[in-house]
Amino acid sequence: KKPETNNNLPPGSFGWPFLGETIEFVRAQRHGAPEKFVRDRMERYGSPLVFKTSLLGHRMAVFCGPEGNKFLFGNENKLVASWWPEAIQMLFGKCLNTSRGDEAKWLRKMMLAHLGPDALSNRLTGTMDIVTRLHIQNQWQGRSEVKVFNTVKPYLFELACRLFLSLEDPKHVAELGSLFNTFLKGLGELPINIPGTRFYHAKRAATAIKKHLIMIIKQRKLALKQENAPSFEDLLSHLLLSSDENGRFLSEMEIANNILLLLFAGHDTTAVSITLLMKGLGEHPDVYKNVLKEQLAILEEKAPGEVLKWEDIQKMRYSWNVVCEVLRLIPPVTGAFREALVDFEYAGYTIPKGWKIIWSAVMTHKEEDNFPNVTKFDPSRFQGTGPTPFAYVPFGGGPRMCLGKELARVQILVFLHNIVTKFKWDLLIPNEKIEYDPLATPVQGLPIRLHPHDI
């Protein structure tokens, strides 16, 4: 790297050549306290609004606090644009994650037509309830102990395959699921593509997954051409049939890459969130009782066997506040990256063009200034007007805000409804350690003891 000539850079250190401060950054994540990396440096440099560092081979500026989040979310496509580390870019290929500007806008619009509130309200909520009931019947009922993360992850993957691809064949889903587990392990790595590295295995798994997806895409194309073909109202058909304003359609590989992105984003984050939610409820029996009360009131109004509807989800206000508090204390995603499109000034410092930038949910969520009594588990923080704007950002904000926020809300609440109305549970490992690799996960997968109730 050329030495920096600009002498108005934010305070901070670039650390070791090439490695920079990556080791400290990763160590904080693996110890379950990613905010420590940011907090230590803020203390060292006199609580600046931004500090510099070097991570994953890049010069970076870390923006601290709600003002930083507001600035970055409000300047997307003007001063900054979404950016992901090379390993992620190489594993996903050309897709929404690696797109910017108008291309990203078009992709988001197209996907939101299938994943936004309209689609969820009309069809998807009921489907999720049916799949969830079956899952609980097969994987939870009759068992006295389960590992929550290991149990919900395959179910959420199965659900994502069904919602996005109408793929239901258990053998095919299990095969893809196993490739996915290898793929996920490479996302937080340096892109060193030599046999034996996690990245190398992840790259091979990504190629195999995309091969499967292309085969499914080709079959669907044929099916859509047939007269009297069954109607597939899923994301895949939607991506195949939608073009931009110039009549451009996505190529088969672009569709495969985007579906790979959604399968990843659509199951791993929610599996982690549900696991953390079960942990939170296991630790706070009073909160569990209030959630149960709300969910029973919804259940009592339904005819036997009737599935959940969009209106039922809207009634789960207290339950959603509880989920929000879980995502505040342990945000599954620590934050995300941007790239400076031009040289610009922030908080009196220059951020040079090309530098990468981090916004951090783990930091703002754990600041006493933003959340009084910050370590207390208190869902009532989300009543009324809620937290300070831009302090609570588990899904990001602005034009690149999480595309699956609504889908995640429905997935989590549908699961919560079904699980609390059937079971109470105890945590078998109190204070089980959480590790970020790259998402927040209890190291033993959260083993619990189940106590079914008769309702």
Residue nearest to ligand HEM (CB): 404
Instruction: Tell me if 161 contacts ligand HEM by CB under 6 A.
Output: no
Torsion of CA 431, 29, 350, 57, to 10 degrees: 180
- If the CB atoms of residues 13 and 127 are measured against ligand HEM, the closer one turns out to be 127
Sign, Cα dihedral of 386, 387, 389, 394: negative
**146, 139 contact by CB (below 8 A):** yes
Residue matched to tokens 């590790």: 435
Instruction: Tell me if 60 contacts ligand HEM by CB under 6 A.
Output: no
Q: Alpha-carbon distance 272 to 396, whole Å?
A: 17
Instruction: Tell me if 441 contacts ligand HEM by CB under 6 A.
Output: no
Q: Select from 132, 273, 275, 364 the one that contacts ligand HEM (CB under 6 A).
A: 273
Q: Alpha-carbon distance 355 to 237, whole Å?
A: 38
Instruction: Tell me if 236 contacts ligand HEM by CB under 6 A.
Output: no
Torsion of CA 164, 317, 441, 270, to 10 degrees: 0
Instruction: Tell me if 365 contacts ligand HEM by CB under 6 A.
Output: no
- If the CB atoms of residues 59 and 338 are measured against ligand HEM, the closer one turns out to be 338
Q: Which residues pair with 99 in a beta bridge?
A: none
Instruction: Tell me if 32 contacts ligand HEM by CB under 6 A.
Output: no
Q: Alpha-carbon distance 93 to 255, whole Å?
A: 11
Binding mask 321-340 for ligand HEM (x = CB under 6 A): -----------xx--x----
Residues between 390 and 419 that touch ligand HEM (CB under 6 A): 394-396, 400, 402-404, 407-408
Smallest gap, in angstroms, from Cβ of residue 80 to ligand HEM?
Answer: 10
Look at residues 77, 91, 81 and name the one whose alpha carbon lies nearest to residue 354: 81
Residues between 89 and 108 that touch ligand HEM (CB under 6 A): 96-97, 104, 108
Is 95 annotated to bind ligand?
Answer: no
Instruction: Tell me if 262 contacts ligand HEM by CB under 6 A.
Output: yes
Instruction: Tell me if 22 contacts ligand HEM by CB under 6 A.
Output: no
Smallest gap, in angstroms, from Cβ of residue 96 to ligand HEM?
Answer: 5
Q: Alpha-carbon distance 353 to 355, whole Å?
A: 6
- How does DSSP assign 60-88, residue by residue? EEEE-HHHHHHHHHHTBTTTEEEE--HHH
Q: Which residues are annotated as a binding site?
A: 402
Q: Which residues are annotated as a binding site for heme?
A: 402
The residues binding ligand HEM (CB under 6 A) are: 82, 96-97, 104, 108, 115, 261-262, 265-266, 269-270, 273, 332-333, 336, 394-396, 400, 402-404, 407-408
